[in-house]
Amino acid sequence: MSKATLLLADDHAVVRAGIRNALDELDEVEIIGEVGDGPSLEAAIHQLQPDCLLIDVTMPAFEPISAIRRIHQLYPDMKILVVSAYDDDIYVQGLLSVGVNGYHLKDQALSDLRMAVQRVLAGDRWLSSRILDKLLAPGGITVELPHLTRRQKEILRLLLQGYDNQTIAIEMGISIKTVENHLTRLYRQLNVQSRLEAVNYVREHPAVLQDVPTKAPYSFPPTAHSSAELHILLVDDNQRFRSQLRRTIQRIRPNASISEAENTATAVRLAHQTRPHLAFVDVVLSSEDGIRCTQRIKQQTPDTRVILISAYPDREFHRRGMSVGATAFVDKKDLDSATLQQIIADLTHYGDA
């Protein structure tokens, strides 16, 4: 029996390699080509005539809706499976309306990706379960929120604004020990392990702060590293993103010493020279693996806390990153001032719970 042919389109080589490895277990599928941007995609489709296009539609120089509509009109028999980090229901519906046969989320299990390919090739539609739930229930997935006291909600609001334990105690007129006890119970109720995870939980479930008035943002207090120099290493192959991240960190910690690297070799050399307290490492570094970069940084400077960052909230990336010593895995779109303040506060806190 002849194999179904598949063209893989994603602008990150490491992601393509992960997908290729996941699909190697399918004997009935053969990946016949890879592309990394919009301009090369249609030429590859014309040349290779694949049975299925597996694509991340956020590639450079690629306008998803119009391009997919055109591709579907030119190649109506070719199946199109989108593999994306984004689950916005309006976005998904737009792509489905112009010819997409399936939409799979990158943070789902690899076994689900293999099933998605098989189902689409068989002529069925495929939607990741989370997307299906959102489409069937326009209000979104119903989540049973924990019952929190008004004081617990107030502490969460202050965490969201970047307060450390000492400042929360001053703001609420309670002791630091009482704050720590509240945080311990809060983490347990939210099923999280750290301040950063608690903040992310509130952002994903804002209703948990219902009935708590919003106050003006607080001017962040000095922390333990304010008098001493805080060394931070930024590792990302996108110079514009590094510059943006540097500026944001400098607004939070003007005296921080910040080094930048675009590849693993430079990152390891700078880690040896500066012994950073904190490093932000992109999971995908052009053709390199940011997880391997993390491992080498930890070998060079074991005390460095490494935060893996990515535009792809992939569970396998998270698992591998934690296994080599990363402290946390953060979606790039969530890496704003408040999140950075929380990360630095976790590094320099006054006795976190």
Name beta bridge partners: 84.
Answer: 105
pTM recorded for the entire structure = 0.45
Q: Are 321 and 294 in contact (CB under 8 A)?
A: yes
Please report the pLDDT score of residue 261 as a whole number. Answer: 94
Residues 101, 124, 105, 12: is their CA dihedral positive or negative? negative
Please report the pLDDT score of residue 150 as a whole number. Answer: 84
Q: What mean pLDDT value characterizes the chain?
A: 82
* CATH superfamily label, 231-348: Response regulator (3.40.50.2300)
Q: Where are the alpha helices (DSSP H) in 63-194?
A: 64-74, 89-97, 110-121, 129-136, 150-160, 165-172, 176-190
Q: Which residues fall within 8 angstroms of residue 77, CB to CB, at 6 or more apart?
A: none
108-123 confidence digits (pLDDT tens): 877 889 999 999 999 9
Q: Are 331 and 350 in contact (CB under 8 A)?
A: no
Decide if domain 150-209 falls under CATH 1.10.10.10.
yes
Question: Which class would CATH give 4-136?
Answer: alpha beta
Structure tokens that stand for 122 in this block = 């068989």
pLDDT less than 50: residues of the chain: 138-143, 214-227, 349-353
Domain boundaries, the chain: 4-136, 150-209, 231-348
Please report the pLDDT score of residue 89 as a whole number. Answer: 63
Please report the pLDDT score of residue 322 as a whole number. Answer: 84
Please report the pLDDT score of residue 352 as a whole number. Answer: 39
Please report the pLDDT score of residue 211 as a whole number. Answer: 59
Quick check: do 4-136 and 231-348 share a fold? Answer: yes
167-170, Cβ contacts within 8 angstroms, sequence gap of 24 or more: 167/218, 167/221
DSSP 209: G
